[in-house]
Amino acid sequence: MKDISSLLNPVAKALPMSGIRTFFGIAASRKDCISLGVGEPDFPTPPAFCKAGIDSVREGRTGYTANAGLKELREAISSYTSDFIGVDYDPESEILVTVGASEGLDIAIRAICSAGDEVLVPEPCFVCYSPLVALAGGTPVPIPCRMEDGFKVTPEELEKYITPRTKALILAYPNNPTGGIMEKSDLEAIAPIIKEKNLIVISDEIYAELSYDGVEFCSVASLEGMRERTIIVSGFSKYFAMTGWRLGYVCAPKCVYDVIFKIHQYAIMCAPTVAQYVALEALTSSAKDNFSTLRNMRDIYDERRRFLMKRFDEIGLPCFPPKGAFYAFPCVEKLGMTGEEFAYGLLDSKNVAVVPGNAFGAHSEHFIRISYASSLDALTRAMDLMDSYITALPSRN
């Protein structure tokens, strides 16, 4: 038989496996492992949302929807976005329902990027941005963000990495994996550079509703002159506890939307119909009750977040205080270890799984990511085990 591997796309072939998945393949095969690795709510989708999906199946609403998504859902997203971030998008020509934020990121990047283009990717960050830029023919350019700066993009760092080939900047705050957030004043500091250099911003706002300590989420699109150069990518996976329904959306100015829409139309046709009815219920019919259910989940994440901070403090492991999302990102450098050494050691000796920081960028090799989308009981047991693991380390004795 002839070898077909040489026919495969070399860029796709050369992509690394996601560091999160690689590690969790190992963790999943271990009995009774406490996994603090997965970035998904430990809550099921609220029953009222699920019922809307079940009803849609029962009533035979199981065909394709419009390519852009159900009109009622786009209208609901439009008013939700207007209320939440104070920016208006036309449901007819500026809002697209996608298969998770994942699809939104892919088609936004493909709409912008072609051979030779550079896209700025502040790191540490979620795993998909750089591979998607590479697959689109572009070059991902990491901007290393430091713990001392709250893992934010500073104007000085941003300017350093812009070249005549730079087309776009990806902003993802509240951030996975650090829990860092860029507040209004932080965004205002970089906006003039973005405008001056004529860049597009892809703003991944999937964790927008999950911010703590009174920190208010600010969308970069709400700043003066930024709506027309920002693509908001968001969705229902995290705050709405709907990961498996695979539903997200993109809000973009019409000229950008038109291009994104075509890619979506050819690649996907439309997002899953049943999931669209679930999302519609989440945003509309019993919105008041729904939002209090969601706020309650957020408060539980916050309680766990505060518990983790207290425990890291007691253990003496430096951890940036996360202000959003549901991750903590402690630094293990003072133990004389990389995050990978720490994570494998913890898994081997205590059966607790965390993600090594290098899964999120080369500059975070001394960190580990802990998801607090796990019960307080699991977190308590894991932190006790981590404490005894650290106490027994040779570097401590």
Closer to ligand PLP by CB, 249 or 389: give it.
249
Considering the complex, what minimum distance in angstroms separates the CB of residue 199 from ligand PLP? 20
Q: Does 100 sit near ligand PLP (CB under 6 A)? A: yes
Q: Which two tokens stand for residue 192?
A: 């003039």
Q: Which of residues 12-51 bind ligand PLP (CB under 6 A)?
A: 39
- The smaller minimum CB distance to ligand PLP, of residues 324 and 339, is found at 324
d(CA 354, CA 109) in angstroms, rounded, equals 29
Nearer Cβ to ligand PLP (77/101): 101
Residue 179 Cβ, how far from ligand PLP at the closest point, in Å? 11
CA-nearest of 362, 380, 397 to 19 is 362
Q: How far is the CB of 289 from ligand PLP (least distance, A)?
A: 23
Say what angle helices 376-391 and 287-315 make with each other, to 10 degrees.
20
Q: Establish if 361 lies at the interface with ligand PLP (CB under 6 A).
A: no
Binding region for ligand PLP (CB under 6 A) out of 80-88, 111-119, 235-243, 338-346: 235-243
**DSSP of 44-76:** PPPHHHHHHHHHHHHTT--S---TT--HHHHHH
Contact mark string toward ligand PLP, 164..203, x via CB under 6 A:
--------x---x---------------------------
Which residues on adjacent β-strands are paired with residue 142?
Answer: 121
Check: CB of residue 307 under 8 Å from CB of residue 36. Answer: no
Cα distances (angstroms) measured from residue 293 to each of 52, 266, 283, 296, 297: 16, 37, 12, 5, 7
In the region spanning residues 302 to 331, those forming contacts with ligand PLP, defined by CB under 6 A, are none
d(CA 339, CA 333): 8
Give dist(CA 362, CA 141) in Å, integer. 12
Per CB under 6 A, 101 contacts ligand PLP = yes
Considering only CA atoms, which of 346, 308, 301 is closest in space to residue 330?
A: 308
Q: How many residues does the chain have?
A: 397
Q: How far apart are the first and last CA of the chain?
A: 58
Sole binder of ligand PLP in the list 243, 338, 358, 374 (CB under 6 A): 243
Q: 373: closest CA among 43, 70, 112?
A: 43
- For residue 186, give the amino acid letter: D
Stretch that binds ligand PLP, among 29-37, 60-68, 97-105, 217-225 (CB under 6 A): 97-105
CB of 262 to ligand PLP, least distance (A): 21
Select from 53, 69, 180, 248 the one that contacts ligand PLP (CB under 6 A). 248
Work out which of 73, 132, 206, 382 binds ligand PLP, going by CB under 6 A: 206
Cβ 277 to ligand PLP shortest distance, Å: 17
Helix or strand (DSSP H, E) at 204: strand 200-204
Using Cβ positions, the residue closest to ligand PLP within the complex turns out to be 100
Amino acid code (one letter) for 35: S
- What mask of x and - would describe binding to ligand PLP in positions 263 to 292, judged by CB under 6 A? ------------------------------
Binding mask 119-148 for ligand PLP (x = CB under 6 A): -------x----------------------
- Which residue ranges make up the site for ligand PLP (CB under 6 A)? 39, 100-102, 126, 172, 176, 204, 206, 235, 237, 243, 248
